[in-house]
């Protein structure tokens, strides 16, 4: 089976244990293939994140529409009072709720580095870290990824340790950790560091810092460009 077929079967989640080993060997021995493979995973993941975000927006819009119809008479009265008191202008002048935007756009980022293979029981530190992450044990995952980063300084370990903190609702700590990543790096993790750091800034109410990162994402072609552009419009 050639490399292209292996990659296709991987994305279709059809790899056998033996085929996964063959694919992993290619990734370990062929740098150009590994780079292209990582790029394809990032693109497919970005598409999936965009689709989920769009679906979430549609559902929220539908619920909002239902709620509006249900309470239309009450809102009519409220609007009249607001005009008299001048409150309508106050509402229009308020900034978007950054926490609401965070909830609207945040999606958990999956394990695209070392997917768990059914039937395997690896005990190395990297496999264990991703196992805990995939299982939702984010505190343990954070600890293991932190150990990995201390040993190898690999970007994936820093990225997933930061994501683990975000999942633990520790956005400020996640921001501090992501500060260790050079956002000028030209690699597959850079747009995702920017995206999740921007969302974390929204979570803690630092709109200007979030906007700066989103503008950077929106100006250049990358997997998160479209989402960044949409979020920027809502922040205006």
How far apart CA 53 and CA 195 sit, in angstroms, is 14
Homologous superfamily of domain range 103-235: Tetratricopeptide repeat domain (1.25.40.10)
Q: What is the pTM of this model?
A: 0.63
Q: What is the DSSP string of 13-69?
A: T---HHHHHHHHHHHHH-HHHHHHHHHHHHHHHHHHHHHHHHHHHHHHHHHHHHHHH
Choice among 9-18, 108-117, 136-145, 165-174 with the minimum mean pLDDT: 9-18
Q: How confident is the model at residue 230 (pLDDT cuts 50, 70, 90)?
A: very high
Domain ranges of the chain: 3-69, 103-235
Q: Looking at per-residue confidence, does 2 or 184 come out higher?
A: 184
Query: Mean pLDDT across the stretch 10-21?
Result: 72
Q: Are 96 and 77 in contact (CB under 8 A)?
A: no
Location of structure tokens 């033996």 = 18
């Amino acid at each position: 089976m050639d490399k292209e077929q292996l990659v296709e079967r991987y994305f279709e989640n059809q790899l056998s244990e033996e085929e996964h080993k063959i694919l992993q060997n290619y990734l370990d021995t062929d740098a150009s293939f590994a780079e292209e493979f990582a790029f394809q995973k990032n693109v497919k993941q970005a598409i999936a994140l965009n689709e989920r975000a769009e679906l979430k927006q549609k559902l929220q819009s539908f619920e909002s529409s239902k709620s509006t119809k249900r309470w239309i008479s009450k809102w009519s009265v409220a609007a009249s009072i607001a005009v008299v008191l001048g409150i309508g202008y106050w509402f229009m002048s308020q900034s978007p709720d950054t926490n609401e935007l965070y909830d609207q756009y945040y999606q958990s980022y999956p394990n695209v580095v070392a997917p768990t293979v059914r039937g395997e029981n690896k005990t190395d530190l990297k496999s264990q870290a991703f196992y805990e992450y995939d299982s939702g044990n984010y505190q343990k995952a954070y600890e293991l990824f932190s150990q990995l980063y201390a040993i190898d300084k690999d970007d994936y370990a820093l990225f997933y340790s930061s994501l683990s903190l975000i999942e633990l609702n520790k956005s400020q700590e996640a921001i501090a950790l992501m500060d260790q990543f050079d956002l000028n790096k030209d690699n597959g993790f850079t747009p995702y560091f920017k995206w999740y750091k921007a969302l974390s800034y929204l979570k803690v109410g630092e709109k200007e810092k979030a906007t700066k990162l989103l503008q950077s994402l929106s100006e250049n072609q990358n997997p998160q460009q479209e989402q960044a552009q949409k979020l920027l419009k809502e922040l205006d």
